[in-house]
Structure 1
Amino acid sequence: MPDGRLFTADAPFLRDMASRFGTPLIMHDLASVRERADRLKGLLPGDARLLYSLKANPLPPVVHALQQAGCGVEVSSLGELGLVGPSSTMLFTGPGKSSAEIRAALGAGALLSCESATEVARVAAIAPAAEVVLRVQPGHSTSAGLSMSDGRQFGFTEEEAVAICRDLPGALRVGGLHCYVGSQLPDTAALVTAFELVVRTVTGIADAAGLTLRVADLGGGFAWPYAAPGAGPDLADLPDRLAPIVAPLRARGTEIWFESGRGLVAPSGRLLLRVLDVKVRSERTTVVVDAGVNVLGGMSGLGRVLRPATVPRNLSTPDADPMRVDIVGPLCTPLDRLAVQVEVPQPHVGDLLCVDNVGAYAASAALSGFLSRPPATELVVDGLDAIGCWRLRSGHEALDPPGGLV
């Protein structure tokens, strides 16, 4: 399975799945998930741990496949915590942890990544002798697609981290540091620059605070296209360039952790959708499909993240002449756009289209509650074997408030 792609000759299989399960249909291939885990772990130092960030795709079979492939987990909610099985490496992150989340995370054996002095005090009040790691901000921006250096809600500055290490409440212990530069780092050079920055940051804090680093989480940023054809960058030279960067940590006996979300699961997913209408006009052609921002790229529909450069394939007439079109979903809003002026083999009503690389940030990041439309069906396959179907819950649930309604 080269470059983590699933189903290199897949059109008949995909058409059959769409016929059996309907559209819109998001397919996740566990064989691709395992392949990506093996490949990404192979790029890291042999004694390093790779954590899967559930925010990319919390679908239970995907999570379990990655745990079985030897990945630890990085979670940031009680919902995500409830999806994971026992793990020797579990990190609970997020800038606003409640007391209930802290208790649940500690009870599950997770290591808490603390983000402020207030949060450190909250942990100490619940578990005075707990071990935590401190999340620290990277020193400056990089070429990340989404940089964390300007995320003021995340973590300590270097000076704050040193100060809190010197004045910990109770018997609380700081066992390590956690620093994440950003996502979608485009090549080996960008990853090397990011990891060099992180190692300088965490070792500098440790030396200034007299801290023994049991764990150093260096983050990730392993890139992959989103809802567009293609594969991630060639990282064949990363192991040789990474070894001297992490050498100072290995010399201290520090456990080295990395994180990845989309880099592990993005290529495992494909979205199948049907053409509902084709409006041909002199200025441009608009193709209406049965999946919009309620299924894919929902946060971009609100202008919160970059819109996906969606370029679907036409599985019904793949050899037709290409046609430049806008692709929109069925929602009653002008924001429901999947692509603008992309070339697709001429589509007709009823054609089946396929969007590659949607294994990350698809159903769970979509506007599934908007307009009360049902979420997409998610089909899990393993190679050419269908495993089962899932669907996110949607709609309102009536609650019975304590004391009754006033």
Structure 2
Amino acid sequence: MSSDSPPVRRLADWDHDRLARLAEEHGTPLYVLDVDRVAANYRRFAAAFPDAHVMYAAKAHTGRAVLSGLLEAGADIECAAAGELQRAIDAGADPNTLQYTAVNPPGGDLDYAVDLADEHPGLTITGGAEDTFDRLEDRGYDGRVAIRINPGIGTGHHEKVATGKDAKFGIPYDEVPALADDLRDRFDLVGLHAHAGSGVLREDLDDHCRAIAKVAELAREVGDSDLEFVDFGGGFGVPYREETEPLDMQAVGERVREAVGDLSARIKLEPGRYVVADAELILTTVNTVKETPATTVVGVDASLATLIRPAMFDSYHPIRNVSAPDRDPHPVSIGGPCCTSADVFATDRPIARPERTDLLAIGNAGAYGYELANQFHSQPRPAEVAIEDGDERVVRRRETMADVVRVEDEAGE
């Protein structure tokens, strides 16, 4: 896929015959990942910010196929946990290029990061609490650090992702200058970091750019000429709803540069969702169609254990009948096999009328899809198939019931 690929990929753009064949070969529910689309999304984003250092925020999707594909495309990796650091290294990342953004880090995570930095001093550790820096010093660490700032402005698609105004994230804005002076005596202070929120679209850009401008102004107050970078995070969204237009990233790049203004330090950005969301979907099979006075209930074999975002964030995901996309649309409520009313993907949504055994596709599942998959109701997690350069391969096998109970069985050995 070329770097001038469309800025959004809708469900209708996927090859339905191929999807049907993959479902037949590998069963459902099934994650289908387009690695070429991941790389194309990254290149489009990087082209909009030619002077910035663009890293991929691994928490959106840590699959090895995604990480290795992005590394090949030239991306560096930003990690929010020790496990993500390890997965980035396993995918081929040079530890000296990694950035670890610690949020209330467990002791084991800090131990891992400090040990890693002992061997790879290019690693950068970002702290969002004075306590974190004290804990690093207690471990004998005096290497590269960045301060995570709380700009007091949150943006994004849901209050649970508006991190820029959540006290959990970052040092209060007014406390940063004094902390920076202190840290310069104890560590190699190389940057500032902030993240306003996630899922930012056109209506959120004004607030997002206000947060960026506020962080840039603080960087100048702290002394940006003495900093290597100022990291403005990611958060740029994708259109989950069919009627929503995608961001014009070239225009967004201009807005961001205007908000930053003159800055001696290099701009750093960390897209996550933007890179992977529309590069993956979930295939699921209809097993039940039930007419009720209130609605037509369509039961599928995917569930909130497969994709928890609708239950967690009330998120909208497009759904398409792959088996019969041209049937007349009919309002249906689509849900999975979990014994909770939260296990619903759509309510009274017009879909080409599903019938039992039809194959449905749930779109925009690449960001925080498999990452949040779980084993609720003792459901094994699904397989994941990657498409790259025309080839297909299983990159995560389907779990079995033996996988679900393995840690209990091993504990009893």
SS at match of 1:389: strand
- Determine if the alignment matches structure 1 residue 24 to structure 2 residue 29: yes
Q: 1:394 to 1:77 in 2, by over 3 A?
A: farther
The separation in 2 between residues aligned to 1:194 and 1:130, in whole angstroms, is 31
Question: Which runs of structure 2 are paired with 1:243-392 in the superposition (5 Å)?
Answer: 243-249=257-263, 252=264, 254-296=265-307, 298=308, 300-301=310-311, 305-366=312-373, 368-391=374-397
Q: What corresponds to 2:67 in structure 1?
A: 63
1:20 partner amino acid: E
- Determine if the alignment matches structure 1 residue 181 to structure 2 residue 187: no
The separation in 1 between residues aligned to 2:241 and 2:126, in whole angstroms, is 31
- Determine if the alignment matches structure 1 residue 134 to structure 2 residue 151: no
SS at match of 2:386: strand
Does the 8 Å contact 1:129/1:173 carry over to 2?
yes
Q: What corresponds to 1:92 in structure 2?
A: 100
Provide, for residues 89-145 of structure 1, a one-character-per-residue CA deviation record: whole Å limited to 9, x for no partner.
321113212343223224154211111111111112223431200001013344654
Q: What corresponds to 2:77 in structure 1?
A: 73
Could you say what the CA RMSD is over the residues aligned between the two structures, in angstroms? 2.7
SS at match of 2:191: strand
Structure 2: runs of 5+ lacking an equivalent: none
SS at match of 1:159: helix
Does the 8 Å contact 1:184/1:223 carry over to 2?
yes
1:70 partner amino acid: G
Q: 1:48 to 1:137 in 2, by over 3 A?
A: same
Q: 1:294 to 1:29 in 2, by over 3 A?
A: same
SS at match of 2:270: strand
The separation in 2 between residues aligned to 1:230 and 1:270, in whole angstroms, is 18
Does the 8 Å contact 2:8/2:238 carry over to 1?
no
Match of 1:397 among 386, 393, 407: 407
SS at match of 1:2: coil
Q: 1:231 to 1:105 in 2, by over 3 A?
A: farther
Q: What corresponds to 2:172 in structure 1?
A: 157
The separation in 2 between residues aligned to 1:383 and 1:343, in whole angstroms, is 34
Q: What corresponds to 2:217 in structure 1?
A: 203
Structure 1: runs of 5+ lacking an equivalent: none
Provide, for residues 138-159 of structure 1, a one-character-per-residue CA deviation record: whole Å limited to 9, x for no partner.
1334465431133111110122
- Cα drift, residue 169 of structure 1: 8.3
Q: 1:154 to 1:69 in 2, by over 3 A?
A: same
Q: What corresponds to 1:34 in structure 2?
A: 39
SS at match of 1:216: strand
The separation in 1 between residues aligned to 2:24 and 2:156, in whole angstroms, is 42
Question: Which runs of structure 2 are paired with 1:222-237 in the superposition (5 Å)?
Answer: 222-226=236-240, 232-237=246-251
Does the 8 Å contact 1:3/1:231 carry over to 2?
no
Does the 8 Å contact 1:311/1:343 carry over to 2?
no
Does the 8 Å contact 1:144/1:181 carry over to 2?
no
1:54 partner amino acid: A
1:222 partner amino acid: F
Q: What corresponds to 1:221 in structure 2?
A: 235
Q: 1:283 to 1:152 in 2, by over 3 A?
A: same
Question: TM-score if structure 2 supplies the norm length?
Answer: 0.87
- Cα drift, residue 347 of structure 1: 0.8
Which structure dedicates a bigger proportion of its chain to helix?
A: 2
The separation in 1 between residues aligned to 2:105 and 2:14, in whole angstroms, is 46
Q: 1:154 to 1:239 in 2, by over 3 A?
A: closer
1:269 partner amino acid: E
The separation in 2 between residues aligned to 1:79 and 1:336, in whole angstroms, is 29
SS at match of 1:82: helix
Question: Matched residue pairs, number?
Answer: 393
The separation in 2 between residues aligned to 1:22 and 1:400, in whole angstroms, is 28
Q: 1:248 to 1:211 in 2, by over 3 A?
A: closer
> Quick check: 191-200 or 133-142, which moved more?
191-200
Does the 8 Å contact 1:311/1:344 carry over to 2?
no
Q: 1:192 to 1:395 in 2, by over 3 A?
A: farther
Provide, for residues 151-193 of structure 1, a one-character-per-residue CA deviation record: whole Å limited to 9, x for no partner.
1111101222222223338632321100111111112x74364
The separation in 1 between residues aligned to 2:58 and 2:45, in whole angstroms, is 16
- Cα drift, residue 220 of structure 1: 1.6
